[in-house]
């Protein structure tokens, strides 16, 4: 479908149906840190005892987790999910300060405290792309707060697998002013595999998944605050300078027992070799502790945004992982 055809399609006005949060608001973080105080917009979905914190990637608003909170905040009563806009995007503040993944991880920690998810109850943390980098720093600074760690489509440090300008252009194209149809085509190509884009929309509302993505983007443009250049640059800076050196990565692997790393083998944004390096670094300390190796999952034929491309498999994977962790915790409590 052309952009004009999708814009005129009756399904576009309801391409995204946001789930109603159990609680929502803004929490003030970074009160005594550079750039602070910063207000972060958040939502909590569900009230179950298994708590999940979802950390989105570059320029991604909290609604990008909609397919996950539907399941882990509404359909499954045992879960509750915390989603939020990182500093620099959505309804959260964008201070003039250098963004780092370490500072953004402290934002998450302080947000958890602000909503009452304190150290009394450990949480499962999921981070994608830049969010995965933030999650690594969270696990490094506060491993005692984590029940498990899932790192999706991310890296411990960005390797030079392509000329630097390729990486920069792939990200800059998301917001550089261009005709909308050109920008959306480029974003689709970067985030998703051809296999996904050309497959039939499961809902049957649009001909293909690629058409549905465009419809969802049009809905977001009409209904939520759009990301700005300032926030993009500051977040991109944080991702570019992220560096979990081997010793720090080894410490995370030795402090968080249950870790899952997942990647699509067609990822264009953060090439799959990064997942291999990440797993090797995390595993370095675990064998001597008698722990299992880091769990890994490669989604063959898929790209960067696994939470959308393979939503059911992705959600099933997470649910199985978490329930295994929770079962182990209950067994230990009975000893």
Q: How confident is the model at residue 136 (pLDDT cuts 50, 70, 90)?
A: very high
Q: pLDDT at residue 312 above 60?
A: yes
Determine contact, residues 1/45, Cβ cutoff 8 Å: no
- What is the spatial distance between Cα 274 and Cα 153, in angstroms, rounded to a whole number? 8
Q: What is the pLDDT of residue 330?
A: 75
Q: Could you read off the pLDDT of 42-71 as tens digits, one per residue?
A: 999 999 999 999 999 999 999 999 999 999
CA separation for the pair 225, 61 (Å, rounded): 9
**Across the strands, what pairs with 55?**
127
> What is the set of domains in the chain, with CATH numbers?
3-334 (3.40.50.1820)
pLDDT above 90 coverage of the chain, percent:
84
Tell me what pLDDT residue 121 has: 84
| 3-state DSSP percent of the chain in helix, strand and coil, to 5 | 45, 15, 35
User: What pLDDT score was predicted for residue 162?
Assistant: 62
Give the whole-angstrom CA distance, residue 145 versus residue 106. Answer: 12
Average pLDDT value for residue range 327-335: 71
Tell me what the mean pLDDT of segment 285-310 comes to.
92
Greater confidence, 120 or 217? 217
pLDDT band at 284 (very low <50, low <70, confident <90, very high): confident
Instruction: Please check the confidence at residue 22 and state whether its pLDDT lies above 70.
Output: yes
3-state secondary structure of 259: strand
Over the chain, what is the mean pLDDT? 93
For 10, residues 6+ apart whose C-beta sits below 8 A from its C-beta are: none
Across 295-324, average pLDDT: 98
Look at residues 239, 67, 54, 251 and name the one whose alpha carbon lies nearest to residue 154.
239
Coil vs helix vs strand at 94: coil
pLDDT of residue 172: 64
pLDDT band at 287 (very low <50, low <70, confident <90, very high): confident
pLDDT at 333 over 90: no
pLDDT tens, position by position, 168-209: 666 666 556 678 888 899 999 999 999 999 999 999 999 999
Residue 166 has pLDDT above 80, yes or no: no
Residues near 275 by Cβ (< 8 Å), separated by ≥ 6? 153, 154, 155, 261, 262, 263, 296, 298
pLDDT at position 314: 99
Residue 169: the pLDDT is 65
pLDDT at 165: 60
Q: Model pTM?
A: 0.94
Among residues 74, 226, 53, the alpha carbon closest in space to that of 148 is found at 53
pLDDT at residue 164 in the model: 56
Burial category of 233 from C-beta neighbours within 10 Å (exposed 0-12, middle 13-18, buried 19 and up): middle
pLDDT at residue 174, as a whole number: 57
pLDDT at residue 161 above 90?
no
pLDDT band, very low/low/confident/very high, at 335 (cuts 50, 70, 90): low
């Amino acid at each position: 479908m052309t952009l004009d055809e999708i814009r005129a399609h009756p399904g576009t006005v309801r391409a995204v149906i946001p789930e109603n949060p159990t609680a929502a608001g803004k929490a003030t973080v970074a009160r005594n840190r550079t750039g602070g105080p910063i207000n972060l917009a958040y939502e909590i979905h569900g009230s179950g005892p298994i708590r999940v914190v979802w950390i989105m990637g570059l320029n991604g608003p909290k609604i990008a987790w909609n397919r996950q909170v539907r399941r882990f905040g509404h359909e499954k009563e045992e879960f509750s999910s915390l989603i939020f806009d990182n500093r620099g995007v959505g309804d959260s503040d964008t201070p003039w300060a250098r963004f780092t993944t370490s500072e953004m991880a402290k934002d998450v920690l302080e947000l958890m405290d602000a909503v009452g998810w304190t150290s009394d109850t450990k949480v499962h943390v999921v981070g994608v792309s830049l969010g995965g980098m933030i999650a690594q720093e969270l696990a490094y600074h506060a491993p005692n707060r984590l029940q498990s760690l899932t790192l999706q489509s991310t890296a411990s440090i960005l390797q030079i697998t392509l000329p630097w300008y390729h990486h920069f252009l792939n990200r800059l194209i998301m917001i550089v002013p261009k005709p909308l149809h050109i920008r959306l085509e480029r974003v689709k190509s970067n985030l998703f595999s051809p296999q996904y884009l050309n497959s039939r929309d499961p809902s049957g509302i649009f001909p293909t998944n690629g058409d549905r993505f465009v419809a969802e983007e049009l809905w977001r443009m009409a209904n939520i605050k759009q990301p700005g250049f300032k926030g993009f640059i500051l977040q991109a800076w944080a991702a570019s300078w992220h560096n979990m050196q081997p010793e720090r990565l080894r410490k995370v692997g030795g402090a968080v027992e249950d870790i899952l790393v997942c990647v699509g083998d067609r990822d264009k944004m953060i090439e799959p070799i990064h997942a291999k390096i990440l797993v090797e670094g995390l595993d370095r300390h675990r064998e001597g502790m008698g722990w299992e190796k880091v769990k890994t999952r490669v989604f063959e034929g898929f790209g960067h945004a696994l939470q959308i491309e393979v939503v059911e498999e992705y959600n099933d994977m997470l649910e199985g992982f978490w329930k295994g962790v929770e079962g182990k915790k209950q067994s230990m409590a009975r000893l």
